[in-house]
Amino acid sequence: MVGHRAALERAHHLFGDPAKVQIERDRNVLDYRRVFVSSRDCVGKRIGDLNLPEQLSATITRLRRRDLDFVPNPSTRLEFGDRICMLTPPANFAAVSQFFRRLDS
């Protein structure tokens, strides 16, 4: 899991102890992809307003802005050039990339 300390403590309370197996090695169901943000439709928007879980079955787990990596929250606004780490089914990689890519050359 990735999240703020309070969210991780809440998740531990809800779901119990972490698994002993490394589920991240099986990427058939979920995988991650880093995506460059350049779409006018995304720049300046809050992550929570993009409805990514509903639209793309995707979740932003990390954001890299300039030389800083951090865990964003729903109110984090995306900036041009942000690199986001997305967790999504592998079949969604193309759709996720296209969603954040500049299409108005």
Question: Band of the pLDDT at 105, cuts 50, 70, 90?
Answer: very low
**Counted domains in the chain:** 1
Q: Give the per-residue pLDDT at 4.
A: 81
pTM comes to 0.72
- Residue 46 within a domain: yes
Residue 24 falls inside a structural domain:
no
| 53 found inside a domain | yes
Over residues 62-83, the pLDDT tens digits come to 999 999 999 999 999 999 999 9
| DSSP calls for 34-103 | EEE---TTTTT-BGGGG-HHHHHS-EEEEEEETTEEE---TTPBP-TT-EEEEEE-GGGHHHHHHHHS--
Q: Which residues form the domain of 77? A: 29-100
pLDDT tens, 30-61? Answer: 888 899 999 999 999 999 999 999 989 999 99
Please report, for the domain that includes residue 74, its CATH number. Answer: 3.30.70.1450
Residue 87: inside a domain: yes
pLDDT for 103? 62
